Amino acid sequence: MKKIFYLYIIMLGSLLTSCKDFLDLPPKNQRAVTTLNDVKSVLAGYLDAFSRNNIRPIVGPYPIITEAQNMMFESYSDNFDFEGNMAQYVNRQNNHGNEKFYANKLLWNDYEASTQIWNSYYEAIGFLNALIEQCEDLKDADPQELKRVKGEMMVHRAYYIFKLQQYFAPMDREEMGIPLYLHTGKEVMGIEMKRKSSAEIYAVLINDLSQALSYYTEAGANTGYNRFFNDRFIQHLLAQVFWFKAESSAKESSDYQQVIKYATAALENVEAFVPSTPVALQQTQQNLLSQYPAYYMQGMTYGGVSAIYGSTWGYLGFAPANLKVAPDLLQLFDEQDIRKAAYFNGNTLSASWPDGAAYGAKYVRVHLFTPEEAFLMLAEAYCRSNNLDQGRMVLNTFKGYRNAKELNSGSANELLKEIINERRKEFFTDTDKRWIDLKRYKLGTINRTLKFFNIDFSLRVEAGDFHYSLPIPLSELQENPHIAPNEGWEPLIF
């Protein structure tokens, strides 16, 4: 008798829902899924958000990196002079964020945003687990279309797993990877949702993405349906996984060679589509360059990130406006660098950032799998492999697109420093990237002395300390006795 599988469409539990509840799929509303068309129909309710900018998926976040997420990671980074901007942030003319909002963001106390990431990403993984497992029972389905559908889901699931590992797992504690259970569909009792080792998590990621890439080679994409099932995107994500893993507790000697392999493949035939003028950079931000080889998502909220990046109505006197940038960041830019003209007005963030409009719309804009990121991963992989000439050549090719001064000599350490600086310039305000770099490279110390509610607060975040592993949500710790917390976090109560 053919098995009838019930997909749990709505998996939003109470405030005390744990990742086990998402990954083990407790029943809520149900829908029978028995054919490949059923799977495609249900999956389409999730994929719709990846083809349109005005619809939320049936599970998971929208966009895949949200406004709150973007603002949290920027607040936890070193690109802005936050002390110098306080008069603009806590200001009667600011209708984008109140004093508590800024206190939580700038004092690394944004438990709400980190909880939202944990819950929404695990929710999406649980949903994809169920559909991927159901694909194993579709024996009569068109085998090529089944590979396209299953491959699509495997890439999305790998993305969420990877980001959770980046956000919540320490770099140097192998036993403290994220919890993960790839649902088998069997009746399993007493699952203990413990943290996996980081090596186990990376093995899952590499296996799933390699399998998806094999499916792509065999079946190609259904261009009207697939979103992430694209050989360039899959290889780019594989390069990212190996790049991050290479400096983690799970590192292996072959990691950077794998970065070279996959980043090179991701960069094939992209040269003509990389923007090289300020206008082209701004058009890319608005997704106006149709052949730009990356995946674009835009938030639905006009001014959605204005609380951190500046009011859309700054020209009318509203705050925040004229936000000061960290001086050491500004000093990295050559005068002729096209990014300087696109980003800044003197030592402040340009009102037209990021899209070139007279007063930027301040939507959150997400570009996944960009060639710029692949260039810089490739340059670093050559550098770390002691192929300095090739590393400099790749770096200088990238710099050419930005009209930045070339680096033609120097040691491996000097080349690596230049690559890190290029990443900081290129990925300024870009989703989570600067925070990821601060974590991965163990960069600097962040010191802040800020006043909220007439109380002086001093914050010190040292390179590599506990702040670079986000706090496991309290609801998870209460519901899941098998999970070890990320130690050091103590909520501030205002």
Residues of the chain with CATH 1.25.40.390: 5-62+112-258
Residues in a beta bridge with 8: 30
pLDDT of residue 24: 66
Would you put residue 333 in left (φ > 0), alpha (ψ -120 to 50) or beta? Answer: beta
Q: What value does the mean pLDDT of the chain take?
A: 93
Q: Rounded to an integer, what distance in angstroms lies between the CA atom of residue 141 and that of residue 148?
A: 12
pLDDT of residue 453: 97
Does residue 315 contact residue 351 with C-beta atoms inside 8 Å? yes
pLDDT in tens, 394-424: 999 999 999 999 999 999 999 999 999 999 9
pLDDT in tens, 242-262: 999 999 999 999 999 999 999
The proportion of the chain whose per-residue pLDDT surpasses 70, expressed as a percent, equals: 93
pLDDT in 10s for each residue of the chain, 494 residues: 344 444 444 443 333 468 877 776 544 445 567 899 999 999 999 999 998 877 889 999 999 999 999 999 999 999 999 999 999 999 999 999 999 999 999 999 999 999 999 999 999 999 999 999 999 889 899 999 999 999 999 999 999 999 999 999 999 999 999 999 987 555 455 577 899 999 999 999 999 999 999 999 999 999 999 999 999 999 999 999 999 999 999 999 999 999 999 999 999 999 999 999 999 999 999 999 999 999 999 999 999 999 999 999 999 999 999 999 999 999 999 999 999 999 999 999 999 998 888 888 999 999 999 999 999 999 999 999 999 999 999 999 999 999 999 999 999 999 999 999 999 999 999 999 999 999 999 999 999 999 999 999 999 999 999 999 999 999 999 999 999 999 999 999 99
pLDDT of residue 13: 39
pLDDT of residue 12: 38
pLDDT of residue 288: 95
pLDDT of residue 11: 41
- Domain 5-62+112-258, classified CATH 3.30.450.90, yes or no: no
pLDDT in tens, 106-142: 999 999 999 999 999 999 999 999 999 999 889 899 9
